[in-house]
Chains A and B, each alone.
Chain A
Amino acid sequence: DAGVIQSPRHEVTEMGQEVTLRCKPISGHDYLFWYRQTMMRGLELLIYFNNNVPIDDSGMPEDRFSAKMPNASFSTLKIQPSEPRDSAVYFCASTLYPAGYEQYFGPGTRLTVT
């Protein structure tokens, strides 16, 4: 398996622009997680899905953030409008319940908002 795939790997955008991050989980996994990593706050869970349904979005910082999972093989995290404080590395992870509970992480998307 190719593992969790994220695109783009790097994104530089200007404040106010819309940003869309993409994730393809490992085939057959039924949970998908979005995390954000910053120096100040470390790794934070933003939202997670089970069988394409959002279960907990309490970690989404503001209404500017939205996430969707239209099917089992694709998810997006959108920021509109983006702000400099959104600059971070965004990770997607997937897992198959209950097999091992291990979350497999993608390589991350480094977002820079200027």
Chain B
Amino acid sequence: AQSVTQPDIHITVSEGASLELRCNYSYGATPYLFWYVQSPGQGLQLLLKYFSGDTLVQGIKGFEAEFKRSQSSFNLRKPSVHWSDAAEYFCAVGEENSGYALNFGKGTSLLVTP
């Protein structure tokens, strides 16, 4: 069955520290991969996406993610976290034959400490 797993429910990092949020997927074909961010009470905003080509993709707000086919992973990274990055982060996977409807992971809640 198709699935998206975000192993970490909560992560706490200090401001200025590096960040890596994990995402693993289980799909038959090559999926389309996304990271979204949700601030409290807000909708979802796209951070970055991967369809093909360079496996390291750059997104907004200084985020990047790397697609590793051999590990079925698409981890999100940021070299230096800002307090404003505190939010809920969702990894999502879509497939062409499902109309690009997204299958979301359960999310990782990021807390940034001073």
Closest to A43 in B: B104
A95 in contact with B100 given A101-B32, A102-B49, A108-B43 (CB within 8 Å): yes
- A106 near B103 with CB under 8 A, answer no
Taking chain B's interface residues, is the majority helix, strand, or loop, or is none over half, making it mixed? strand
- A101 near B49 with CB under 8 A, answer yes
- A107 near B42 with CB under 8 A, answer yes
- Kindly identify which residue among B43, B46, B98 contacts A91, using a CB–CB cutoff of 8 Å: B43
How many positions in chain A have a CB within 8 Å of any CB in the partner chain? 25
Q: Which residues of A contact B100 (CB under 8 A)?
A: 31, 95, 97, 101, 103
- B42 near A45 with CB under 8 A, answer no
- A102 near B46 with CB under 8 A, answer yes
Which of chain A's residues 57-114 have a Cβ closer than 8 Å to chain B?
Answer: 91, 93, 95, 97, 100-108
Taking chain A's interface residues, is the majority helix, strand, or loop, or is none over half, making it mixed? strand
- A42 near B44 with CB under 8 A, answer no
- Kindly identify which residue among A56, A93, A100, A106 contacts B98, using a CB–CB cutoff of 8 Å: A56
Bound complex: CA A38 to CA B28 (Å): 27
Q: Which residues of B contact A13 (CB under 8 A)?
A: none
**B114 contacts chain A at the CB level, 8 A cutoff:** no
- B99 near A31 with CB under 8 A, answer yes
Q: Which residues of A contact B105 (CB under 8 A)?
A: 42
Q: Which residues of A contact B94 (CB under 8 A)?
A: 101
Q: Which residues of A contact B107 (CB under 8 A)?
A: 42-43
**B67 contacts chain A at the CB level, 8 A cutoff:** no
Closest to B49 in A: A102
- A48 near B101 with CB under 8 A, answer yes
Contact with A along B40-57 (1 / 0, CB 8 A): 001111100101000000
